[in-house]
Structure 1
Amino acid sequence: MSLNFTFSFLIDVSLSILALQHSLPPFVYLTSTFPTALISGVGGRNASKLTCICSAPLYLHCSPVFTLLPCVCSAPLCVQCSLCVQCSLCVQCSLCVQCSLCVQCSLCVQCSLCVQCSPVCAVLTAPCALSLQFHMSYADQERYENEERPEVQRQILAEIARKLPVYTRTGNGGIRFCDRCQLIKPDRCHHCSVCAMCVLKMDHHCPWVNNCIGFSNYKFFLLFLAYSLLYCLYIAATVFKYFIKYWTGELTNGRSKFHILFLLFVAIMFFVSLMFLFGYHCWLVSRNRSTLEAFSAPVFQNGPDKNGFNLGFVKNLQQVFGEEKKLWLLPIASSQGDGHFFPMRALSEAQNPLLTNEEQWEEDGIDEEPQGSGEASSLAIERET
């Protein structure tokens, strides 16, 4: 009995230290609903016999206690998966290890707060984590990095992405691969250098909300602009009558004059700015485009097409706001899809993804290299945005 208690105490202490070192939610390690299995043996040989779903060996480099970290779905998640940014999402239960947020039901496990019912998340909602199927496994990543021949690298990427729902490619006809995140980019996904992560359906990085605007919060961003626009209009309308009194001399001298002029000037200035910005994004929604796609059209199998995702005005609105019109003006998550696949205009059922043409697959990295110089020039490079 005392031996089992000692082992349980050592496991809890080790997992608590891991949670603090990697800034992950303590519930992932300490709650009783997550059973912990003790792997017998001390040393890399015994631990390396077990492999995780990402093909990485299950062992801790600096800890004598070898643990198997299961998710809520009882699927084994090793340290390589559960503590790494690129493997923070469990495939079986869609639970984000980093933010404790279930992608399917938008329920925060830590505080039991439904994200769909919280207006605070209209601005604070973080970009969704990409599905684990788009990430390179530990074995594939090691095999890709150790390979120096470009044609073999293209073949490795083609093998990984052959079954993925990817239809867009780079401008040079190659695979959209992020070398920094070590993943194959889904359609309309881009890497944000400020957030240091790939964002689903990335629109832009907004400094005003200090967040990246993408699939998970684009509707909230539009509502944020609409609410701010109405608020500025309300302030300007309520202050305007006092401005008339100030202009006609009916208002008594005092500090209130400066307040009236300042409020009216700021309200009108922000109203005009937000009006143009909101109008531009309304035009993008009506065309089903993002800001990045407006500047650079997505490339499909037949070449660039700025209207590749244009489904018509009504369906374009439903892509962002959902089918229930009563939820359009509320800060409630109602966008269609999961952010990894988007319906395309006039997509034939017989048209296979670009992945079937392996010869045209090329790497999409982060480093710019001149075309036509050595073997590296055979790789298509797309600059991250």
Structure 2
Amino acid sequence: MAPSHAFRCCKRALNWTPVLFINLVIGWSYYAYVVELCVYTDSICCVFSTVSYLVVFHLFFAMFIWSYWKTIWSKPAKPSVAFALPSAEKELYEREQRAEVQQEILKKVARSLPVYTRTAGGAVRYCDFCQVIKPDRCHHCSTCEMCVLKMDHHCPWVNNCVGFSNYKFFVLFLTYAALYCAVICATVMQYFIKFWTKQLHDSHAKFHILFLFFVAALFFISVVSLLGYHLWLVGKNRTTIEAFRAPVFPNGPDKNGFSLGFRRNVVEVFGDQAKYWICPIFSSQGDGHSFVTRLVHIDPEQANTVLQQNGKMLVSFFFPTMLK
């Protein structure tokens, strides 16, 4: 037990290495821009441009850091106790060796839950590790060792699962990271050219500025590519997992099964109040357990009643009365 526990502790510590690396890069970029560029270099040329650069830079820097750490520290949402097998059915399930009989037990319990997706073979999705019937769009993360509601992927750069509880924060993190890099590239380019053409005297700031431009440009290209992909996913109302493996409904797999139209897809992630869209404040629609689909109409009253029977009140979900 001791070696296993020590191994898990070491693994968890190592998982923070990418986060540490990103924070070191961010810290260095802040020093290079504010101190080496704005204090040692730009203050010699123009005080007004220095102040302008600092104001814009700190605005995007603050939003970038805020959304990044919200993505890191937002605990992944897991299924409620309503999706656990009742004690009698759980005992029967664990005692039974035949897979087909186990499936009958799961199907009986799943009838009272707002669960409509199945495995590729048509079986009820059940997690043997967490011992819960998986809600729609829920998947087990081996790194986090838990089932995550509306799981998108596990991101090593934030050392956290990206899912229902923090997907909005993740998209904003990518957005502000791209804008942060764009501001650096746009304002540093003139000094990059001047240093390169020897129009400014050599100083210890030269190498910081040259390297800052290259790093910001490289990160900008990488982040924009990833941001474009996730904005496409938001518009289609898909997760990364669903983009590669279509969810299976009673009448077959359908990648667009959860798509309700572009506007309503965006609202599901960012909320129905546009003033909160740019802020890393949770405003996503729903509770992460049940979703409206194009193929199945979920009764919100029935879903909430089932989920509240176990004593856990959940946030009421936005269900349209008619699906087009």
TM-score, scaled to structure 2: 0.69
1:222 to partner: Cα distance: 0.5
1:237 to partner: Cα distance: 1.7
Write the mapping of 1:65-80 to structure 2, written as runs, cut at 5 A.
Answer: none
CA contact (8 A) 2:192 2:209 kept: yes
Determine which of 217, 231, 235 is the counterpart of 2:180. 231
CA contact (8 A) 1:319 1:335 kept: yes
1:338 aligns with 2:281: no
Partner of 1:194: 143
Residue type matched to 1:248 in 2?
A: T
Give the root-mean-square deviation of aligned CA atoms.
1.9
Secondary structure of residue in 2 paired with 1:215 = coil
CA contact (8 A) 1:192 1:199 kept: yes
Q: Which runs of 5+ in 2 are unaligned?
A: 1-65, 300-324
Partner of 1:316: 265
Distance 1:240 1:118 in 2: 26
Residue type matched to 2:269 in 1?
A: V
Partner of 2:112: 163
Distance 2:295 2:111 in 1: 22
Task: Please tell me whether Structure 1 or Structure 2 has the larger radius of gyration of its CA atoms.
Answer: 1
Write the mapping of 1:7-46 to structure 2, written as runs, cut at 5 A.
Answer: none
Secondary structure of residue in 2 paired with 1:171 = coil
Secondary structure of residue in 2 paired with 1:198 = strand
CA contact (8 A) 1:119 1:332 kept: no
1:251 aligns with 2:183: no
Partner of 1:299: 248
Distance 2:217 2:69 in 1: 26
Q: Summarize the Cα distance change of 1:349–1:200 in structure 2 as closer, same or farther, 3 Å threshold.
A: closer
CA contact (8 A) 1:123 1:220 kept: no
Secondary structure of residue in 2 paired with 1:205 = strand
Q: Summarize the Cα distance change of 1:129–1:349 in structure 2 as closer, same or farther, 3 Å threshold.
A: closer
Residue type matched to 1:318 in 2?
A: V
1:177 to partner: Cα distance: 0.7
What does the per-residue CA deviation read over 1:123-170, in whole Å, with 9 as the maximum and x for residues that have no partner?
A: 310111211110123443232111122332122212221200011001
Higher relative contact order (CA 8 A, sep 6+): 2
Q: Summarize the Cα distance change of 1:170–1:119 in structure 2 as closer, same or farther, 3 Å threshold.
A: closer
Distance 1:308 1:167 in 2: 11
CA contact (8 A) 1:203 1:292 kept: yes
Q: Which runs of 5+ in 1 are unaligned?
A: 1-116, 351-385
Higher helix share: 2
Residue type matched to 2:214 in 1?
A: F
